[in-house]
Structure 1
Amino acid sequence: MAGEVASASASLPRPVLKGRHAQFMKKHLAIGIGMSLVSVYLTKVFVNDKRKAAYAEYYKNYDIEENFHRIRKLGWFDSCSADDD
């Protein structure tokens, strides 16, 4: 019986303890960098590009003179009168 235990433990490989943390960090650093690059790309596509398109549409139809006259009529400007000229 003692011979069986000795032969069973002799056939098991020794655990790798040296460099295990470095191996773990390399693997998880690569995974983390990959996931962050994917999230940056998805944010650009689904958030920033839509926002850029919305701003482009807004300024394509924006009339600065009309907006100026609207704000002037409200009396928000101190430098010009609120009456219609």
Structure 2
Amino acid sequence: MASGTLAKPQLPGLLAKRLQIHIVGAFIVSLGVSALYKFGVVEPRKKAYADFYRNYDCMKDFEEMRKAGVFKSAK
């Protein structure tokens, strides 16, 4: 048997200390996730839309749909 005494656990202020560590960690993780979403989803989507509308001719598209019979009122 060990004759030494056990150290007392730190109870006062333990919650505040752990909460501070977790808040900082959550902030860092949220910044990382938002940066990944911006550069992994938003920027490629904006580029795809810009590339599509760069050469898009709405009248040509309308005429193709009209000839295909998509519109009932436009002949």
Q: Give SS of 2:39's match.
A: helix
Name the counterpart of 2:73: 79
Identity of aligned residues (%): 35
CA offset at residue 13 of structure 1? 4.2
AA in 2 matched with 1:70: E
> Alpha-carbon deviations, 1:10-66, whole Å to 9, x = none?
xx6432111211211110111011101111011101111011000000000111111
Q: Distance in 1 between matches of 2:36 and 2:53?
A: 25
Q: Distance in 2 between matches of 1:25 and 1:68?
A: 59
Q: Which runs of 5+ in 1 are unaligned?
A: none
Please report the TM-score for the alignment, with normalisation by the length of structure 1.
0.77
**C-alpha root-mean-square deviation of aligned residues, in Å?**
1.6
Structure showing greater radius of gyration is 1
Q: Which runs of 5+ in 2 are unaligned?
A: none
